[in-house]
Structure 1
């Protein structure tokens, strides 16, 4: 699946990798977080290198809806239910700072964007209370929100019973912004290496990265990889990974001009795209990674729903993205534990990376510059003080219980079928066992492969993703291609490939 934004190649000329090179700062990941941080530091005169295993914007940065909004579904009311108003206000101010920085950059780079009213809406009367709670939390946090009047929502073709609205929010092409950031970074003297995967790091006697192309040293390291690719601090157990889906449509009639996100399920996210025609993006149907009966069915449900409410809508592109949510709902941004303050990271944006990533970069850059606490804006100091509340502990306990259940269920399920198995149909994969070890067998593009179906991170049994033809881990959201190549998540190694005769007949 390829997103509307990534249908054209997105590349910026980098430089050849030099083993044993040393830089002031090495940033792992050429998405929004990594490149915003890189631009900030390179402009300040730091010697900065960005390492990217794939292509620019290949992850969530090039596979989202492109909404740059401070109204984020039911985020604020959910956060406020467990945290003081001051922390929610700091979160809003952080996102406002991130939004302002990104939009200023986009304008300077000539990136087209459009302005819309954002709506968090209820699809049924049962969701109306959530809308009211979001309105109250947003007002308390300093957002100029309002309850949408009946006149502005009366003619919408999809179900909406009540909505909170925030004017003057933005939609844009996220991959175009990310590519422009990469170009600005290189123009500022930054060093960019794509196709180089980081496999590990050490901080003693000095910070060093191990990569597929050789080692690299730095004074400071930033892990901008969605979730940290090392286990220091056990961040993988403090966030949950989810996948959600998007489909773009050509429609014969104009589409609603707002940025819509439902607060009740199943989630529906809508935004218009102005590209010379009438185009609509519909997203939603998210789920924990590796814990869906059929990812393909999730995509098909979005198409069916859209065609029911927008007559004549024809799908043109379909895609998905992976996001992480922290158990206490506030993003993790700062120093990685047990790294001697030399390694920093950011994760837990809960699908709002276009505003969270820039403020995370502002904070990471401030720390690397060594700015004193009194020099920082109040939101930056406030949001950096994490409060662990009873609700946070409860969410963490529930999620980790689900992880334990997925771990046990995966091994039990694998034991029920032994290899060899019938050759899977095109686009399909099955898990069986050989000698007590799970084996994954799949057929993609006419080629049948067998790989170890045990995640090298924490030993979870992988599940076949029938929408993206990948092996996904239901424990901590690592993902692998059909041939075993690592795609994303906390795992740092590929899956072991096995002879085809081991898996199918």
Structure 2
């Protein structure tokens, strides 16, 4: 929805020119909230900065987010306190507060429209009240001025809620556009449609692009959702999660930003109307680990049915999904990548709260490079997780082996036939190889259904019409192009005429 508007640029990458010597002080990989913010902070300091984006600015998580800039984040704070000390949890809140304040100040300075709203974490049934009460107490203990509400004037079930006033929502593409404009005004460049394939460190980093071009830099920042380099094994330290968003017109929109504490959450906010569009209701949630659900489309239908039940007359205008990564203890990984010579930096593990965490990560990384690391970043970088607490938050890719085994078993049980139904995809065998066959918009495709990252057997995503890896969350289009990392290489194609 965020890119579907009359003033939206077309989808053809519009890259800036590379410098004649192909050298930068800093190369940032990824043009989302983290990449563009850290790029701007470094460019403001007088450094020569280039941001390299494989597709379009905002084509990853940031351009698909709900656009909530909030310190109340569902039941995140109570979960963190279950895995970490109060000192670490306070540093997390301080980091998010600084990220929120910096971004809100930036929006004010550069005339980016924002709306102030109450953020609400609510129980949709009595069985969820204990979790919401725990979050309420956790937020109070960490300095957030939350209030308890037994009832709120909303059309959906609400058994109780904790409420934090004066939080913010906005259109994320407005923010990215302003960040990119300011980056360029300070001498930085943005290179869209250029995928980074690898980084080597021989004294100073060298960055290889998909066309063979090699860039030199003093520092590299990986702001790619999950690092596309395997040093440090971060692909195994975070869990890839996918969730869904639908936009509707024709209904009265509740005044706040809401997130339920249910296992299958509901996220609700409004989008103000303008000269070209009516006000819209956003309904999100129904998340799952990437590649590990029987039908992604059933998750979309779940949200549709919920909206029809509580918002009579809602007319759907847009449907999309987003992917983000959760760390094992609720705290993002931000810092220097192991075996990177101290010159490769990473940020991952925002668990769908990237607008505050992404800016905080950018502040931390820019501080490391410029010699002024924030105090809260030092605390978060030294945290030690309680094993029992970590289990409450994420399973560290738990069930990966079972998911892969089931996927491979499906592949072994059938021949790779192109399905007759439009929008369908199947995994079968072609000799010794698992092969994915699909039919999308009348076009048939066959690809080797092995993830180019670590060889996981792929499964078909019936909502996004993509091939998803249940191991580490890489995703590919029906014809094999990379959509999400950590994979960087496309799938091998098979001759579509060889239908069995």
Same fold (TM over 0.5): yes
Name the CA shift for 1:397/1:156 in 2 (closer, same or farther; >3 Å): closer
- What secondary structure does 1:203 align onto? strand
Aligned to 1:178: 176
Q: What CA distance in whole angstroms lies between the structure 2 residues aligned with 1:395 and 1:210? A: 39
> Contact (CA 8 Å) 1:5, 1:176: kept in 2 or not?
no
> Contact (CA 8 Å) 1:238, 1:396: kept in 2 or not?
no
> Contact (CA 8 Å) 2:83, 2:385: kept in 1 or not?
no
Q: Compute the displacement of 1:433 (Å).
A: 0.7
Q: Compute the displacement of 1:450 (Å).
A: 0.3
Q: What CA distance in whole angstroms lies between the structure 2 residues aligned with 1:238 and 1:389? A: 15
State whether structure 2 residue 491 is matched by structure 1 residue 495: yes
Aligned to 2:121: 120
RMSD between aligned alpha carbons? 1.7
Name the CA shift for 1:134/1:394 in 2 (closer, same or farther; >3 Å): closer
Q: What CA distance in whole angstroms lies between the structure 1 residues aligned with 2:394 and 2:265? A: 24
Name the CA shift for 1:289/1:19 in 2 (closer, same or farther; >3 Å): farther
Count residues in correspondence.
493
Aligned to 1:387: 384
Q: Compute the displacement of 1:458 (Å).
A: 1.2
Pairing 1:322-333 to 2, within 5 Å after superposition? 322-333=323-334
> Contact (CA 8 Å) 1:327, 1:392: kept in 2 or not?
no
Q: What CA distance in whole angstroms lies between the structure 2 residues aligned with 1:258 and 1:395? A: 28
Structure 1: stretches of 5+ with no match in the other structure: none
Name the CA shift for 1:469/1:110 in 2 (closer, same or farther; >3 Å): same
Aligned to 1:462: 458
Q: Compute the displacement of 1:397 (Å).
A: 9.1
- What secondary structure does 1:137 align onto? helix
Name the CA shift for 1:242/1:263 in 2 (closer, same or farther; >3 Å): same
Q: What CA distance in whole angstroms lies between the structure 1 residues aligned with 2:4 and 2:58? A: 8
Structure 2: stretches of 5+ with no match in the other structure: none
Q: 2:411 aligns with which of 414, 417, 426?
A: 414
State whether structure 2 residue 47 is matched by structure 1 residue 50: no
> Contact (CA 8 Å) 1:424, 1:430: kept in 2 or not?
no
Pairing 1:14-25 to 2, within 5 Å after superposition? 14-17=15-18, 21-25=22-26
TM-score (structure 2 length as normaliser): 0.95
Name the CA shift for 1:99/1:321 in 2 (closer, same or farther; >3 Å): same
Aligned to 1:248: 247
> Contact (CA 8 Å) 2:232, 2:338: kept in 1 or not?
yes
- What secondary structure does 1:344 align onto? strand
Name the CA shift for 1:381/1:10 in 2 (closer, same or farther; >3 Å): farther
- What secondary structure does 1:192 align onto? strand
Q: What CA distance in whole angstroms lies between the structure 2 residues aligned with 1:398 and 1:347? A: 16
Q: Compute the displacement of 1:111 (Å).
A: 1.1
- What secondary structure does 1:257 align onto? coil
> Contact (CA 8 Å) 1:6, 1:175: kept in 2 or not?
no
Q: What CA distance in whole angstroms lies between the structure 2 residues aligned with 1:68 and 1:37? A: 18
Aligned to 2:425: 429
Aligned to 1:217: 216
Q: 2:469 aligns with which of 456, 459, 473?
A: 473
Q: Compute the displacement of 1:382 (Å).
A: 1.3
> Contact (CA 8 Å) 2:418, 2:438: kept in 1 or not?
no
- What secondary structure does 2:241 align onto? strand
- What secondary structure does 1:143 align onto? coil
Higher mean alpha-carbon deviation, 138-147 vs 398-407, is at 398-407
Q: What CA distance in whole angstroms lies between the structure 2 residues aligned with 1:19 and 1:227? A: 30
Pairing 1:345-384 to 2, within 5 Å after superposition? 345-371=346-372, 376-384=373-381
Higher mean alpha-carbon deviation, 405-414 vs 341-350, is at 405-414
Q: What CA distance in whole angstroms lies between the structure 1 residues aligned with 2:437 and 2:207? A: 33
> Contact (CA 8 Å) 2:459, 2:469: kept in 1 or not?
yes
Q: Compute the displacement of 1:297 (Å).
A: 1.6
Aligned to 1:142: 143
Name the CA shift for 1:488/1:18 in 2 (closer, same or farther; >3 Å): farther
Pairing 1:394-405 to 2, within 5 Å after superposition? 394=391, 398-405=395-402
Q: Compute the displacement of 1:409 (Å).
A: 1.7
Aligned to 1:290: 291
Q: What CA distance in whole angstroms lies between the structure 1 residues aligned with 2:9 and 2:341? A: 36
Q: Compute the displacement of 1:75 (Å).
A: 0.2
Aligned to 1:268: 266
